[in-house]
Structure 1
Amino acid sequence: MKISHAALAEKFIADEPRTDWHDDTLWFVREKRDKAAHGLPEWEQLREWGSQIKDHTLSNLSNYLKEFEEKAKANGIIVHWAGDGDEHNKIIHTIIQKHKIQKIVKSKSMLTEECHLNDYLQEKGIEVVDTDLGERIVQFRKEAPSHIVLPAIHLKREDVSETFHEHLQTEKGNNDPQYLTEAARQHLRDKFVQSELAITGVNFAVAETGGFVVCTNEGNADMGAHTAAVHIACMGFEKIIPKAEHLAVFLRLLARSATGQPITTYSSHFHKPRPGQEMHLVIVDNGRSKQLGREDFRNSLKCIRCAACFNTCPVYRRSGGHSYQTAVAGPIGSILSPNLDMKANADLPFASTLCGSCTNVCPVKINIHEQLWKWRQVIVAEGYADSTKTIGMKTMAYLFSKPSLYRFAGKMGRRMMKAFPFMTNNKFNVWYKQREMPKPPKESFREWYLKNGKINRK
């Protein structure tokens, strides 16, 4: 049975110093994003262009996907279509079997995380080495990434040092970032040189050219793709954009929103396999067409996976990515995940304050907080809401509809809280767990207003 977000968040925040550090670290990234965005006078215009391009693409998706497939095949790329994650994994496994491949390197790809590719191949006795530094750290620890851009953001350098000492035999207690990074670099270089297959994600696929772009800061996607005899790129079909000139908009939006950089260190363009290489592209649906058909939620497919909404979200920052138990966590994940499995992810849209900060920072203007609110309505209507929440809301709705009963309940409640504070200050009150309950007021606002309202208006 899946553990609720609230229960996992409670576990995460039990370590208050680490929670505060996690919160501060992500807010630092958010501040970098703000500085980078405010440094461009045309920032809001770029956001508007990005939003309009994505809207147009989603409205003409079948045409652009057909055009992209035709151009990609003409370039010498072998194109596959996968209806779901299992089909995606089987396609890749078939290619591995065909070439009798043993050595595989993979750059960061949230789609392969979504499809659980590593687990699938491991069950087949095939090892995949994640080459993004953060991904490799969590892979050593047998953990999932907690963030789509910063996979190991939940770990401190001391944690990384212990992990590397165990797996790479680094000096115990040496927490120097440069030393640890160099150890990882030497370890991964051998993996790149020996690799027979490189798996990468796709940030943008251009219908006009049949090519695709992979953005990294470490160059690991390039290292894999340029050394291996076979390159497999995996993409959700929403990664398509119409023209190459549109990259100028999205590449300026992506890095600034993700890490506060003017541009990613490597924006690598792949159009065809190099001589002697075989290149495959797996285009995946996995619930995306269903989301496209949901009018209230379709524009969540505009997401360019920058994680700006993660870094600003007060809930994500103080609950950690693992509390979501999904490949894409945070506010955008809380919109995407119920589409894949509404029952299993029914709690995620409620893991939000609806403050709207996620919408404010989204580089392609997804109305994230509004979609979270709409998902709540769908989930309640479908009967997937927590039973205690449903009962509580129905009780409050009845109470609010009866003014005299509401006033009586309020008066009795204040008296009970004053005379018997343990009635609210106990472990069964979820609000009391993390808060100091306020002292009950002597009178309600209505009672105060009836006595003082007319006097204060004179």
Structure 2
Amino acid sequence: MPPRAPHEPAHLRGEVGFTKAAHTELNKATQRRNLQKATTSIRAKRARVVSEREDWQDLREAGSGIKRQVAALMPELLEQFEEVVTKNGGHVHWARDSREACEIVTKLIQETGEKNIVKIKSMATMEIALNDELAKAGISARETDLAELIVQLGHDRPSHILVPAIHRNRAEIRDIFINEMPDTDETLSSEPAELAEASRLFLRRQFMDAKVAVSGANFGVAETGTISIVESEGNGRMCLTLPETLISVMGIEKLLPKFSDLEVFLQLLPRSSTGERMNPYTSLWSGITEGDGPQNFHVVLLDNGRTAVLADEIGREALKCIRCSACLNVCPVYERAGGHAYGSTYPGPIGAILTPQLTGIDSAKDPSASLPFASSLCGRCDEVCPVKIPITDILLEMRHQKVTQHALKGEKSLMNLAALAMGKPAMWNKLMRVMFMGRILGGRDHTIRHMPSFLAGWTNVRDVVTPPKQTFRQWWESDEAHRLLAEARKQGVPQQPAAEPAGPLHPSDEEEES
């Protein structure tokens, strides 16, 4: 990708938190329309093909179980994978972080003497900012996935895991092609067929000239040393077969124990991502075959914080992710704020739980610290995740960690006071009885539009109805409530048995509970 444009907003570089970035992105009406239309369409397609499978929940459970097995046996599986790949003529490199990974890939390309390479879309290479590092070494990396190409030519950033240019419409894509793609002029229309043909002609020259390709990996199989790429356009097939040297960057969590495990994931992934029963292209390779395909094959196994994530009993569930983007397509926060607001390679709900764990949250002011709060906790993401990642559970745990470890000044004390009040019914009831004083903040229409101090963040984007003159408990004790209850009894309305008063259990009750 060309060097970063000087005018690129700070939030696209991940330098500001989600809260501030979202305010910028929410004002982009065209982007919001594009996202709403695209995600609605993908959701409908996914729901249709998923409903065809009576064993869908069984497939999800199987996928989740396999991924948990990978987490439990990671060291053994990685060594097995390395052994088989090496036996098949490939070379395995280990990268502890993004710096090491970029250095390895750069050195391998430099050894070939090439200055131009092609790439198939890879989240891992975006995570480590490989294109930027290659550019510093004088190496140009051309993205070949159509959406990724649009992003690259537009000097933009991806905003979706599956469809990086989802925030762009056809008219915008046409303008990008005319301005950035050689031999393309004003006669190009915004029709999808013409746009696809223009990109095909442009990329064909890149494929035919390239001697080196860099790929990611959807799955790696420890048993056979196989790497798999699934895609829809055929660009991956061109990258994986034509060049003389192939370098695959694979996150260590992408492993599967057995070749037969692909049966499960090749049903889960296409249905959850593109809403297809099967992806058009599935490429598998296990090493070097004389006279067929690349004759120099390298695998870079990327850690980059993943080992630390494995150490967290709750957070490690995020590593089960197969990058389907189903959680993004159902998330109301993502649909409105867009992927750029997350300031991360991984946007949406999965990014909100994965990025902070991979990068760490050094302080409450760290840009990643706000990501666990970029959610309404509606639970849609839990329902659609093909490998049953408990995203909302992880979000809550990370919020807890953020507040306890990196709380803003006064925030921890405020939360402790709230916990104290909620834990003592008598104190809580007294506080609720004075809440009516908040009515002075409302006007004649009983609406609070501006709240003081740190509470102003709530009313900056929404109005608040003034509290009632009395709480429900106060009303329940009133003459009016007693009168209505007496009338209901006269009319024969069934009454619920009185609830037991809240309070600590008696010793005998504790024994019965246990």
| Gaps in structure 1 of 5+ consecutive residues | none
Structure 1 pair 57–188 and aligned structure 2 pair: CA distance change class (3 A): same
Match of 2:52 in 1: 39
Alpha-carbon distance in structure 2 between the residues aligned to 1:76 and 1:124: 28
1:323-358 deviations in Å (ceiling 9; x for gaps): 011111111111111112213311000111111111
Match of 2:142 in 1: 129
Match of 1:85 in 2: 98
**1:273 is aligned to 2:258:** no
CA shift at 1:129, angstroms? 0.3
Out of 167, 171, 182, the residue aligned to residue 158 of structure 1 is 171
TM-score scaled by length of structure 1: 0.94
CA shift at 1:408, angstroms? 5.0
Alpha-carbon distance in structure 2 between the residues aligned to 1:272 and 1:362: 32
Structure 1 pair 142–391 and aligned structure 2 pair: CA distance change class (3 A): farther
Alpha-carbon distance in structure 2 between the residues aligned to 1:423 and 1:203: 50
Structure 1 pair 427–421 and aligned structure 2 pair: CA distance change class (3 A): farther
Out of 329, 335, 338, the residue aligned to residue 317 of structure 1 is 335
CA shift at 1:436, angstroms? 4.1
Alpha-carbon distance in structure 1 between the residues aligned to 2:195 and 2:236: 20
State the AA in 2 paired with 1:244.
F
CA shift at 1:73, angstroms? 0.7
Residues 334, 348 of structure 1: 8 Å contact kept: yes
Alpha-carbon distance in structure 2 between the residues aligned to 1:265 and 1:329: 25
Match of 1:293 in 2: 311
Alpha-carbon distance in structure 2 between the residues aligned to 1:65 and 1:129: 30
State the AA in 2 paired with 1:216.
E
**1:341 is aligned to 2:360:** yes
Alpha-carbon distance in structure 2 between the residues aligned to 1:376 and 1:58: 23
Q: Which moved more, 1:413-422 or 1:429-438?
A: 413-422
Match of 2:324 in 1: 306
Alpha-carbon distance in structure 2 between the residues aligned to 1:164 and 1:433: 40
Match of 1:254 in 2: 269
Match of 1:48 in 2: 61
Alpha-carbon distance in structure 2 between the residues aligned to 1:148 and 1:239: 16
Structure 1 pair 17–128 and aligned structure 2 pair: CA distance change class (3 A): closer
Q: Which has the larger radius of gyration?
A: 2
Alpha-carbon distance in structure 2 between the residues aligned to 1:398 and 1:216: 53
Residues 441, 451 of structure 2: 8 Å contact kept: no
Partner SS, residue 298 of structure 2: strand
Aligned residues, how many? 457
Alpha-carbon distance in structure 1 between the residues aligned to 2:452 and 2:160: 31
State the AA in 2 paired with 1:316.
Y
Structure 1 pair 221–361 and aligned structure 2 pair: CA distance change class (3 A): same
Identity of aligned residues (%): 37
Match of 2:493 in 1: none
Residues 161, 172 of structure 1: 8 Å contact kept: no
CA shift at 1:147, angstroms? 0.8
Alpha-carbon distance in structure 1 between the residues aligned to 2:169 and 2:410: 37
1:278-298 deviations in Å (ceiling 9; x for gaps): 111111111111111111111
**1:243 is aligned to 2:266:** no
Residues 48, 364 of structure 1: 8 Å contact kept: yes
Out of 442, 459, 482, the residue aligned to residue 432 of structure 1 is 459
Match of 1:65 in 2: 78
Partner SS, residue 264 of structure 1: coil
1:152-203 deviations in Å (ceiling 9; x for gaps): 0111111111111111233268321111111111111111111111111111
Partner SS, residue 176 of structure 2: helix
Alpha-carbon distance in structure 2 between the residues aligned to 1:377 and 1:68: 37
Residues 147, 329 of structure 1: 8 Å contact kept: yes
Partner SS, residue 269 of structure 1: strand
State the AA in 2 paired with 1:190.
R
Match of 2:228 in 1: 213
Alpha-carbon distance in structure 1 between the residues aligned to 2:467 and 2:68: 50
**1:448 is aligned to 2:475:** yes
Match of 2:500 in 1: none
Match of 2:507 in 1: none
Residues 162, 173 of structure 1: 8 Å contact kept: no
CA shift at 1:74, angstroms? 0.8
| Gaps in structure 2 of 5+ consecutive residues | 1-9, 490-514
Structure 1 pair 404–26 and aligned structure 2 pair: CA distance change class (3 A): same
Residues 436, 468 of structure 2: 8 Å contact kept: no
CA shift at 1:21, angstroms? 3.9
State the AA in 2 paired with 1:348.
L
Alpha-carbon distance in structure 1 between the residues aligned to 2:333 and 2:24: 14
CA RMSD after TM alignment: 2.3
Residues 234, 281 of structure 1: 8 Å contact kept: yes
CA shift at 1:398, angstroms? 6.0
Match of 1:117 in 2: 130
Match of 2:402 in 1: 379
Out of 417, 432, 444, the residue aligned to residue 407 of structure 1 is 432
State the AA in 1 paired with 2:318.
S
Match of 2:152 in 1: 139
Alpha-carbon distance in structure 2 between the residues aligned to 1:45 and 1:404: 47
Structure 1 pair 6–151 and aligned structure 2 pair: CA distance change class (3 A): same
Partner SS, residue 347 of structure 1: helix
CA shift at 1:439, angstroms? 5.5
